[in-house]
Amino acid sequence: MSILDYDWGLIWDNRDALLGGLWTAASVAIVGLLISLVFGLLLAVLRSGPKPVAWIALAYINIFRGVPALVSVIWVYFGLALLLGVRFTVFQAGVIALSLLYSAFFAEIFRSALQAVPPGHTEAGWALGMRTVQIFFSVTLPQAVKIALPNIGSMFIGMVKDTSTFTVIGLLEVVRVTQNLVATTFQPFVLYTAAAIIYVLAAFAIDLIFRLIEGAYVRPPLGFIGRWLRSRQQREIARVVERLRTASPLTVPMSAVK
């Protein structure tokens, strides 16, 4: 049987179902990404804190970096339901499972990015009279995010692919939709090939989006966004100059010295 003998028209006929599964997978991954970034940054800060807190953060990171996505979603969907008496939807369970796993990965990404920022920038902020929290959010964190962006994009691709394991709880993402179609059409080769192509194209699209974000972050774009970024930068420079003027010692006229 030749490869051309398969019914490849099934891909086009079921495009709405397959794209709907992709949208479900992307939705779970996007919400999980936002939550993971926040908790990952928090874990990275705690990881560099005092020893008792740093040990707890390190234990969390090492545990959840070693847990498979399939096990994590089963723990959340079935285990927490029995333990806490809370019944999560498949969407909620998928988001929680991804957040638990990837916050550990993002913690290490943010930790290495924060350590890559030159300490002289923090010292310069102190010299200008800035508070530690202000230095972190205005000086250190923006530079760390720029360093971490490529790795964040790679992790997001992994999050989208890991949603394929959530078929075990019935999440209607790409693989689950493909399984349902295979059960009625008996064309696994065609439909799983379509699923693979969808994931590959999604990976290319995500990579392109993060490259554009990284380029805009490093080189502010033209147009309205560029003008807004430049005006904001000019205001920041003006504030720093004004702070330097007020912090400089006043010169006393020689006639006043007796």
DSSP 147-166: HHHHHHHHHHHHHHHHGGGG
Per-residue pLDDT, 1: 61
Tokens of 89: 């939807």
Per-residue pLDDT, 247: 66
Q: Alpha carbon 200 to chain centroid distance?
A: 19
- Residue 257, sorted as left (phi over 0), alpha (psi -120 to 50) or beta, turns out to be beta
Per-residue pLDDT, 254: 45
Per-residue pLDDT, 107: 96
Per-residue pLDDT, 252: 44
Distance in angstroms (rounded) separating the CA atoms of residues 249 and 258: 20
Which stretch of DSSP H or E encloses residue 229? helix 223-247
Can you state the angle between helices 188-218 and 141-162, rounded to 10 degrees?
170
Q: Alpha carbon 136 to chain centroid distance?
A: 19
Per-residue pLDDT, 177: 95
Per-residue pLDDT, 257: 42
Per-residue pLDDT, 111: 94
Per-residue pLDDT, 241: 78
Q: Alpha carbon 62 to chain centroid distance?
A: 19
Q: What is the pTM of this model?
A: 0.82
Q: Is the dihedral of CA 206, 209, 211, 214 positive or negative?
A: negative
CB 229 within 8 A of CB 220: yes
Residue corresponding to tokens 């990171």: 61
CB 178 within 8 A of CB 19: no
Tokens of 162: 């890991």
Give the number of other CB atoms < 10 A from CB of residue 39: 18
Tokens of 81: 């339901």
Distance in angstroms (rounded) separating the CA atoms of residues 19 and 16: 5
Q: Is the dihedral of CA 56, 57, 60, 62 positive or negative?
A: negative
Task: Give me the residues of the chain with pLDDT under 70, please.
Answer: 1-2, 218-227, 229, 247-258
